[in-house]
């Protein structure tokens, strides 16, 4: 058997990242953060990357995609692309937590790794991890108010490493509350990278956790606003949903 | 290998659909996963919910379309997809699925305009003689086109505000008839008096004007009901539905006949979801027949959103080798019927 070649895709945030990894190395990783939609960028980027490393799509053994949390539209672009590749090429797929892929870039950090993605309305998508290979997950992926996360982090004494696209937004607050316990990375080490997604995917495939295109689903964490509003209206006894959309 | 098979994919609104059509004419399969029951309780299509369901269904629907057509991916000549107009998040699911499949399978990508695909539904069932005039009426569009071939169309006029189908949905909501409004109003109108109320017909009697407007009509219905309620007067829902429907049909018939006369065409096509309306079909057919013209329309299942019409429209792009690139994007507002990147 030739070595496994896994493609990673991450479009959960404004970063558009594609990579191919094997057990031994990262063959290539292209990461862009420019003002163009994922829909326009992702497939050309995949095409360029595969050409550059001399591979055909059918040479891939599997595809790992950042399956959330993240921007709903962004997640869907990555997910439909992975699903269509899986369907056309008949290869296995797997969904990797966007937050786990962010945290896994820092296996040696001596403390708590805390990826935060902007979930708007003063909330972040977050999970906590303890470093190591493999790292230990301390919480489930969740959406919570920043204030709540900060309160939680204040209760313990370890240093906390913040990564993810919400860092620039909340850095002053985090530094103020946690003082020297708040640690930050340069931008290129704090963004979503597809090689990390592919590396975690490789482990999942080896553990027999590959899925078919039929079963692959994003993990939005949040319901759509319309569903939330509808449920609130129902529980208040009102049946009206006029003007919801 | 089988020849000239186009896979069509449609996700512009609330139907996830895929179809395999041979040579732009023979429908080998047409699979539609409707989301209508999902959006019903919200009284209209919720974009985020629609996008989520498209993502869950699109690959299933494609697999089923291939299965029923008894063909494989390798048999396809090209993949056609609706890239606009429509709900952007919903369109993105179809567009990215289609172009990724095409990329992995090394097939051309055909970017189809949704409005034009509604027109092309007619090509699946009729040998259309050109030139022709086509009225496209749906939840999103109300437009008149002058067609000189299967792939050449000029816009004569369109709605300035709401689409006819949108007006049906809104009035049905006000009357408590449910969603989608078109079939609900038509059914209620059967037992009603179309002359009970006089609602406005925008731009009526204006020669050389092929524009429509339905927002005033919708407001007139709402105001009428409001006034009746204020005065404590009762009314029959059936009468309101019938009078409203008649106002819509009247103006659609008038403008379409005007265009057919001005362009001196023998054939008129009807397309889009509202083309399923029996009153519109019947009255337009009669009015055109009086002037010696023929009205053609697709069967009901090809009037509402489906992917067979996408594959049919894609066929003409395929013949002209108008292929889209890997950077094809969804376009929520798409005025030019032939816009291919
Ligand atoms: Zn339509």
Other C-beta atoms within 10 Å of B316: how many?
21
Say yes or no: B158 and B96 in one domain. no
- Minimum distance, in Å, between the CA of residue A241 and any CA atom of chain B: 6
Tell me whether residues A87 and B45 touch, CB distance under 8 A: no
Q: Is residue B331 part of a domain?
A: no
- Would the pLDDT of B99 be above 90? yes
Who among A57, A76, A227 is closest to B55 (CB)? A76
Say yes or no: B187 and B291 in one domain. yes
Which of residues A46 and A156 earns the better pLDDT score?
A46
Centroid of ligand 1 to alpha carbon of A86 (angstroms) = 29
Say yes or no: B33 and B142 in one domain. no
* From A53-67, B36-50, B176-190, B306-320, the region with the lowest mean pLDDT: B36-50
Average pLDDT, chain A: 93
Q: Is residue B42 part of a domain?
A: yes
CB of B238 closer than 8 Å to CB of B254: no
User: What is the extent of the structural domain holding B20?
Assistant: 5-119+303-319
Say yes or no: B141 and B275 in one domain. yes
Which of residues B181 and B124 earns the better pLDDT score?
B124
Centroid of ligand 1 to alpha carbon of B6 (angstroms) = 20
pLDDT at A239: 38
Q: Is residue B336 part of a domain?
A: no
Say yes or no: B15 and B112 in one domain. yes
Q: What is the ipTM of this complex?
A: 0.93
Say yes or no: B110 and B135 in one domain. no
Question: Residue B47 sits in a domain of what CATH number?
Answer: 3.30.420.40
- Would the pLDDT of A193 be above 70? yes
Q: Is residue B329 part of a domain?
A: no
All residues of chain B having their beta carbon less than 8 Å from the beta carbon of residue A34 are none
In chain A, the domains with their CATH numbers are 6-98+193-220 (3.30.420.40), 106-189 (3.30.420.40)
Q: Is residue B326 part of a domain?
A: no
Confidence at B88, pLDDT banded by 50, 70, 90: very high
How many beta-carbon pairs under 8 angstroms link A with B? 107
Centroid of ligand 1 to alpha carbon of B8 (angstroms) = 14
Say yes or no: B138 and B76 in one domain. no
All residues of chain B having their beta carbon less than 8 Å from the beta carbon of residue A62 are none
What percentage of residues in chain B have a pLDDT greater than 70? 97
- Minimum distance, in Å, between the CA of residue A179 and any CA atom of chain B: 40
DSSP A223: P
CB of B168 closer than 8 Å to CB of B272: no
Kindly write down the DSSP assignment for every residue of B217-245, as one continuous string.
Answer: HHHHHHHHHHHHHHTT----HHHHHHHHH
Q: Which residues contact A164 (CB under 8 A, 6 or more apart)?
A: A13, A99, A102, A115, A116, A117, A124, A190, A191, A192
Chain B interface test: which of A35, A74, A87, A238 (most B C-beta within 10 Å): A87
Who among B47, B98, B104 is closest to A245 (CB)? B47
Q: Is residue B340 part of a domain?
A: no
Sheet containing A26-32, strands listed edge to edge, beginning at the edge strand earlier in sequence = A26-32, A16-21, A6-10, A62-66, A93-96
Instruction: Tell which phi-psi region holds residue B221, choosing left (phi > 0), alpha (psi between -120 and 50) or beta.
Output: alpha
- Would the pLDDT of B40 be above 60? yes
Who among B42, B93, B173 is closest to A226 (CB)? B42
Average pLDDT, chain B: 93
Rounded average pLDDT over A212-221: 95
pLDDT at B336: 59
Q: Is residue B36 part of a domain?
A: yes
Closest chain B residue to A82 measured between Cα atoms?
B100
Say yes or no: B93 and B138 in one domain. no
The C-alpha atoms of residue B156 and residue B207 are separated, in whole angstroms, by 13
Who among B43, B93, B325 is closest to A80 (CB)? B93
- Would the pLDDT of A186 be above 60? yes
- Minimum distance, in Å, between the CA of residue A105 and any CA atom of chain B: 28
Confidence at B207, pLDDT banded by 50, 70, 90: confident
Say yes or no: B48 and B86 in one domain. yes
Contacts of A127-130 with C-beta under 8 Å, sequence gap 24+, read A127/A97, A127/A99, A127/A100, A127/A103, A129/A100, A129/A103
Structural domains in chain B (count)? 2
Q: How many helices (H) and strands (E) would you count in chain A?
A: 7, 12
- Would the pLDDT of B103 be above 90? yes
C-alpha Rg value of chain A to the nearest Å: 19
Say yes or no: B287 and B312 in one domain. no
pLDDT at A243: 32
- Minimum distance, in Å, between the CA of residue B278 and any CA atom of chain A: 29
The C-alpha atoms of residue B309 and residue B124 are separated, in whole angstroms, by 7
Q: Is residue B220 part of a domain?
A: yes
Q: Which residues contact A155 (CB under 8 A, 6 or more apart)?
A: none
Say yes or no: B171 and B218 in one domain. yes
Say yes or no: B111 and B164 in one domain. no
């Amino acid at each position: 058997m030739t070595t496994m070649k896994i493609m990673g895709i991450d479009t959960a945030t404004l970063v558009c990242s594609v990579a191919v990894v094997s057990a031994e190395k990262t063959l290539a990783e292209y990461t862009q953060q420019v003002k163009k939609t994922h829909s326009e960028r992702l497939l050309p980027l995949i095409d360029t990357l595969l050409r550059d490393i001399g591979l055909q799509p059918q040479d891939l053994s599997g595809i790992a995609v950042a399956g959330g949390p993240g921007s709903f539209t962004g997640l869907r672009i990555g997910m439909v692309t992975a699903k269509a590749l899986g369907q056309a090429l008949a290869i296995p797929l797997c969904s990797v937590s966007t937050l786990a892929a962010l945290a896994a870039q820092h296996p040696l950090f001596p403390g708590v790794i805390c990826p935060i993605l902007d979930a708007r309305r003063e909330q972040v998508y977050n999970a906590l991890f303890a470093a190591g290979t493999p790292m230990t997950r301390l919480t489930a992926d969740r959406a919570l108010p920043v204030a709540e996360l900060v309160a939680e982090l204040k209760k313990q004494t370890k240093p906390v490493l913040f990564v993810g696209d919400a860092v620039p937004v909340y850095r002053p607050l985090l530094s103020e509350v946690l003082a020297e316990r708040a640690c930050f990375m340069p931008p290129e080490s704090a963004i979503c990278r597809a090689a990390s997604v592919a590396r975690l995917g490789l482990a999942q495939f080896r553990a027999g956790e590959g899925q078919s295109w039929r079963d692959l689903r994003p993990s939005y964490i949040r319901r759509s606003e319309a569903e939330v509003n509808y449920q609130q209206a129902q529980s208040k006894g009102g049946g009206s949903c006029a003007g919801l959309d | 290998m089988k020849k000239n098979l186009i896979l069509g994919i449609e996700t512009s609104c609330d139907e996830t659909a895929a179809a395999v059509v041979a040579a732009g004419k023979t429908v080998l399969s047409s699979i539609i996963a409707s989301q209508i029951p999902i959006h019903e309780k919200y009284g209209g299509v919720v974009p985020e919910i629609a996008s989520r369901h498209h993502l869950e269904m699109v690959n299933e629907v494609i697999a089923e379309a291939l299965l029923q057509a008894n063909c494989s991916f390798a048999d396809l000549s090209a993949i056609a997809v609706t890239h606009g107009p429509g709900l952007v998040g919903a369109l993105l699911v179809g567009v990215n699925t289609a172009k990724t499949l095409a990329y992995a399978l090394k097939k051309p990508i055909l970017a189809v305009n949704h409005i034009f695909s509604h027109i092309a539904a007619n090509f699946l069932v009729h040998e259309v003689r050109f030139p022709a005039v086509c009225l496209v009426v749906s939840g999103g569009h109300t437009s008149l086109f002058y067609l000189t071939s299967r792939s050449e169309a000029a816009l004569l006029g369109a709605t300035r505000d709401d689409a006819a189908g949108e007006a049906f949905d809104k009035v049905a909501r006000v009357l408590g008839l449910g969603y989608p409004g078109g079939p609900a109003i038509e059914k209620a109108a059967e037992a009603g008096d179309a002359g009970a109320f006089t609602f406005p017909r925008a731009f009526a009697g204006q020669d050389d004007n092929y524009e429509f407007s339905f927002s005033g009509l919708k407001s007139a219905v709402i105001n009428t009901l409001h006034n009746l309620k204020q005065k404590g007067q009762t009314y029959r829902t059936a009468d309101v539905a019938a009078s409203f429907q008649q106002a819509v049909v009247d103006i659609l018939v008038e403008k379409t006949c005007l265009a057919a006369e001005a362009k001196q065409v023998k054939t008129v096509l009807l397309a889009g979801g509202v083309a399923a309306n029996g009153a519109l079909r019947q009255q337009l057919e009669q009015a055109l027949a009086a002037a010696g013209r023929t009205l053609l329309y697709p069967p009901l299942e090809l009037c509402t959103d489906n992917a067979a019409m996408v594959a049919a429209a894609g066929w003409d792009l395929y013949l002209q080798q108008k292929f889209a690139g890997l950077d094809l994007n969804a376009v929520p507002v798409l005025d030019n019927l032939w816009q291919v990147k």
